[in-house]
Amino acid sequence: MADVACVTCGETGEAIATPLFLGKLEAEIKAKVCLSCWKKWEGMRVMVINEYHVNLGDESGRELVRKQMKAFLKLGEQADSSKVAENYRPPTN
């Protein structure tokens, strides 16, 4: 198997060999992210979708997941935390 110098964990790891179906972003991810970090993102993606109540049928929901993915994988984008404030509900007493 080929190895990749991962920007996420800073180590050399196994390259991603399976298709990701991410269009232009797929080549960048495969060149810069190891399989182990990608697997961690796949688990985190579920939490992001649930936490932010993302509607993947809406382009803004898909864009939010993309931004969170880029931030998690350290691909040069900061995490967009604006949705956190929108979704915050103070506890009722």
Q: Where are the domains of the chain?
A: 3-87
* Token pair listed for 74: 């350290």
What percentage of residues in the chain have a pLDDT greater than 70? 81
Note the pLDDT of residue 93: 52
Alpha carbons within 13 angstroms on the beta-carbon side of residue 12 total 3
Note the pLDDT of residue 77: 64
Q: What is the pTM of this model?
A: 0.78
Architecture, CATH, for domain 3-87: Orthogonal Bundle (1.10)
